[in-house]
Structure 1
Amino acid sequence: MRYNGLLSTLPRELKIFIGAFVVVLSIGFYTGLLFVNETSTSSAQGIEENYLGNEADEEAEIMKFKKSDREMLTIVHTHILSMSFIFFLLGGILWFANLSKNLKLFLTVEPLLSVVLTFGGIYFLWSGVLWMKYVIIFSGTLMTATFTVSSLLVLYQLIFHSSSSQLKK
């Protein structure tokens, strides 16, 4: 089955639908990043404090306490499920773009690995493996970068690419 480049051959109505979905998905994704920035900052220390607390720091502006077992399981469970679904849907659309197979493979598999590393890393950090905060930062950054690149590639191909058959019409 030939699927490379099918995105640009879709009817206008489907392109609008897919484009609207990717825009709304992006709004949700980046709003989540704003929330992360509000709650933990993107520094290694901020991530550590968000899950392990900062009760020992008497000069802390905002007192944070170590997350409970229940909170951690909820965070890890909901994020792994929802993020895997987000990347499955975006990746499924990306496979129909006109791109190299290797690029598509990287952009669709890497974020799934980063989801496991990021949220597994958060659990291990909470369990006391403090160096995982660096894995969390790296994998979270890579996950965000692949989401951004994938979204932009899909939108670009929906808006600016048209098949040769559409150009003849």
Structure 2
Amino acid sequence: MEFNGLLPKLPKPVRLFLVAFVIVLSVGYFTGLLFVSETSTASVDGIEENYLGNESDENADVMKFKKSKRQMLTIIHTHILSMSFIFFLLGILVWLTKLPTKLKVFLTVEPFLSVLLTFGGIYFIWSGVTWFKYLVIVSGILMTATYTASAMIVLYQLTFSKQYGNTFNQ
């Protein structure tokens, strides 16, 4: 069975369902990024402070304490599982688009590597290997870029694919 370019050919009700899914998934994903921004973990030093605490900083606006092992395992466990499902489901949709295979492979495999590097890196930061904060920033940016590109491509091909005409008019 040929999967390349199947997405715009799906029946209108299925495409509408998928558009709604990708939009709601994206709201959830980007709300998570807003949370990261609010917890000061969007910066290199903020990542380290969020997991290792800032008790030694007398001028800190908000006092933070080093996360416990239980907290770290909960954070890592829930994020790796949930992000895996997010990227698995979005990846299925990417494989149904009309794109070059190499681009599909990148958009669908890279996020899994970034999830491991990001949350594995957070664990290493917590363990005291603080230079991993740079890896966490880079992998997090790459993960978000691939998510954004994948979601936009899927939404575009579900709604505005020129190859088959405007798919919502069919």
- TM-score tier, shorter chain, comes to over 0.9
Distance 1:60 1:164, change over 3 A: closer
Partner Cα distance (1:54, 1:28) in 2 = 29
Partner Cα distance (1:24, 1:99) in 2 = 24
Deviations 1:48-77 (A, max 9, x none): 000000000000010000000000000000
Residue aligned with 1:40, SS: coil
Distance 1:51 1:164, change over 3 A: closer
Distance 1:50 1:166, change over 3 A: closer
Distance 1:26 1:164, change over 3 A: closer
- What residue number does 1:124 align with? 124
Q: Where do 1:17-166 residues align within 5 Å?
A: 17-161=17-161, 164=164
Q: Which sections of structure 1, spanning at least 5 residues, go unmatched?
A: none
Partner Cα distance (1:166, 1:111) in 2 = 30
Deviations 1:18-40 (A, max 9, x none): 00000000000000000011112
Contact residue 9 and residue 163 of structure 1 kept, 8 A? no
Contact residue 53 and residue 64 of structure 2 kept, 8 A? yes
- The count of aligned residue pairs is 168
Partner Cα distance (2:47, 2:37) in 1 = 10
Residue aligned with 2:99, SS: coil
Task: Report the CA distance between 1:164 and its aligned residue.
Answer: 4.3
Partner Cα distance (1:151, 1:144) in 2 = 10
Normalised to the residue count of structure 2, the TM-score between the two structures is 0.95
Normalised to the residue count of structure 1, the TM-score between the two structures is 0.96
Partner Cα distance (2:67, 2:166) in 1 = 55
Q: Which moved more, 1:37-46 or 1:103-112?
A: 37-46
Task: Report the CA distance between 1:41 and its aligned residue.
Answer: 3.5
Partner Cα distance (2:23, 2:40) in 1 = 26
Q: Which sections of structure 2, spanning at least 5 residues, go unmatched?
A: none
Deviations 1:87-132 (A, max 9, x none): 0000011100000000000000000000000000000000000000
Partner Cα distance (2:53, 2:164) in 1 = 58
Where in structure 1 do 4 or more consecutive aligned residues deviate above 4 Å? 162-167
- State the one-letter code of the partner of 1:52: L
Distance 1:166 1:132, change over 3 A: closer
Task: Report the CA distance between 1:163 and its aligned residue.
Answer: 5.2
- Structural RMSD (CA): 1.5
